């Protein structure tokens, strides 16, 4: 039996000891939303354990990622993050962690579409007018994101590549503060996940210009928003996947218990209802298996490498 530093037996994990899920972005944002909803769904299969979300933001998620890579490998400190796990190794020439060898991959959670939204004061009534306005104001449009390595940064990069227009990017510790500034008119545009933008769109507080899926979404509040593809950005697609990680060397029985609990959580009707209400799609394929999760992330690093290199969007 693997006896962990805590003296508890891996077999008894979690044994009533609280689990921390590190979210590498500010509270109230889309990554935080997924973590809090998943934590709720993980409690039952983890014997009612309490799960704390620790928002350790900064440097486009790399500070939070590094914190978990260095954490005790006893299963009580986990990381929930998204596509940034695959883009940061390309964007940051030196990272304080190795995405391949410093983590145990616990399985994937969901796929989340993005929306390109504008501040309420924007005159552009649709994607076409917004695109023309950007073209007439090269370098002047303020595009928010959550730092180099964030999903909003990735979408913004691809969006600028397509429009062949530079915008001024404004980084935040997450898209919760970014969307707050959008509502206040401090920034003009933001590409953010539907888990964060659905409520603002529903409340008509922002201008929704496009969704970044190839097919229109079915969520009531989002179903009338045109896709970027039909708006002229042929084939433009950005969906943000999320996964769960533990520090390398976490005992096998603990990893199994965590992955089993994740599988139960992803089938939790409450969790699925919350996710679907925000336009997200819970993983139902084999990406919930650790080996498949890891393989998928490796393939995403390979996919994003050339794209990011072409954009020259390095962090340092
Ligand atoms: C991102 O842009 O990567 C995330 O939406 C940031 C966040 O979760 O706040």
pLDDT by residue, tens only, the chain of 316 residues: 455 544 557 789 999 999 999 999 999 999 999 999 999 999 999 999 999 999 999 999 999 999 999 999 999 999 999 999 999 999 998 999 999 999 999 999 999 999 999 999 999 999 999 999 999 999 999 999 999 999 999 999 999 999 999 899 999 999 999 999 999 999 999 999 999 999 999 999 999 999 999 999 999 999 999 999 999 999 999 999 999 999 999 999 999 999 999 999 999 999 999 999 999 999 999 999 999 999 999 999 999 888 888 887 788 6
- Does ligand 1 come within 6 angstroms of the Cβ of 39? no
Neighbours of 7 (CB within 10 A): 6
- Does ligand 1 come within 6 angstroms of the Cβ of 113? no
- Does ligand 1 come within 6 angstroms of the Cβ of 29? yes
DSSP structural state of residue 150 = S
Task: Give the ligand 1 atom nearest the CA of 26.
Answer: 9
Task: Give the ligand 1 atom nearest the CA of 178.
Answer: 9
- DSSP labels for 33-59? HHHHHHHHHHHGGGTT--EEEEE---G
Ligand 1: centre distance to CA 70 (Å): 22
Ligand 1: centre distance to CA 6 (Å): 33
Nearest CA to ligand 1 atom 8: 31
Counting every residue written for the chain, the total comes to 316
What per-residue confidence (pLDDT) applies to 3?
Answer: 53
Nearest CA to ligand 1 atom 9: 174
Q: Strand ranges (DSSP E) for 71-129?
A: 77-81, 103-118
- Does ligand 1 come within 6 angstroms of the Cβ of 149? no
What per-residue confidence (pLDDT) applies to 311?
Answer: 80
Buried/exposed code over 169-189 (b: 16+ C-beta within 10 A; e: otherwise)? bbbbbbbbbbbebbeeeebbb
Closest CA to 191 of 155, 161, 242, 137: 155
Ligand 1: centre distance to CA 26 (Å): 8
The structure's pTM equals 0.95
Closest CA to 60 of 175, 162, 167, 213: 175
CA distance linking residue 216 with residue 226, whole number of Å: 6
- Does ligand 1 come within 6 angstroms of the Cβ of 147? no
Ligand 1: centre distance to CA 3 (Å): 36
Task: Give the ligand 1 atom nearest the CA of 29.
Answer: 9
For a pocket test of ligand 1, which of 196, 200, 238, 241 has the largest count of ligand atoms closer than 8 A to its C-beta?
A: 196
How high is the ipTM of this complex? 0.94
Task: Give the ligand 1 atom nearest the CA of 61.
Answer: 3
- Does ligand 1 come within 6 angstroms of the Cβ of 175? yes
């Amino acid at each position: 039996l693997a006896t962990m530093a805590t003296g508890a037996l891996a077999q008894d994990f979690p044994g009533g000891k609280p689990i921390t899920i590190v979210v590498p972005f500010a509270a109230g944002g889309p990554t935080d939303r997924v973590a809090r909803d998943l934590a709720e769904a993980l409690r039952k299969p983890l014997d009612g354990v309490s799960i704390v979300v620790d928002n350790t933001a900064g440097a486009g998620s790399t500070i939070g990622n590094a914190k978990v890579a260095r954490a005790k490998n006893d299963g009580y400190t986990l990381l929930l993050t998204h596509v940034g796990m695959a883009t940061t190794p390309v964007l940051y020439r030196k990272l304080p962690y190795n995405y391949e060898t410093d983590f145990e991959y616990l399985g994937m959670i969901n796929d989340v579409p993005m929306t390109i939204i504008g501040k309420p004061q924007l005159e552009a009534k649709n994607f076409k007018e917004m695109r023309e306005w950007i073209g007439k104001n090269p370098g002047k449009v303020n595009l928010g994101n959550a730092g180099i390595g964030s999903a909003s940064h990735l979408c913004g990069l691809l969006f600028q590549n397509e429009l062949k227009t530079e915008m001024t990017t404004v980084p935040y510790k997450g898209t919760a503060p970014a969307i707050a500034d959008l509502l206040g008119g401090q920034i003009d545009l933001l590409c953010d996940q539907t888990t964060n933008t659905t409520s603002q769109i529903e409340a008509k507080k922002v201008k929704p210009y496009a969704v970044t899926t190839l097919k229109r979404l079915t969520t009531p509040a989002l179903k009338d928003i045109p896709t970027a593809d039909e708006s002229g950005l042929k084939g433009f697609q950005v969906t943000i996947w999320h996964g769960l990680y533990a520090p390398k060397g976490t005992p096998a029985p603990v990893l199994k218990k965590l992955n089993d609990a994740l599988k139960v959580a992803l089938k939790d009707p409450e969790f699925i209802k919350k996710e679907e209400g925000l336009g997200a799609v819970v993983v139902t394929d084999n990406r919930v298996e650790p080996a498949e999760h890891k393989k998928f992330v490796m393939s995403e690093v390979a996919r994003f490498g050339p794209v990011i290199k072409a954009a020259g969007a390095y962090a340092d």
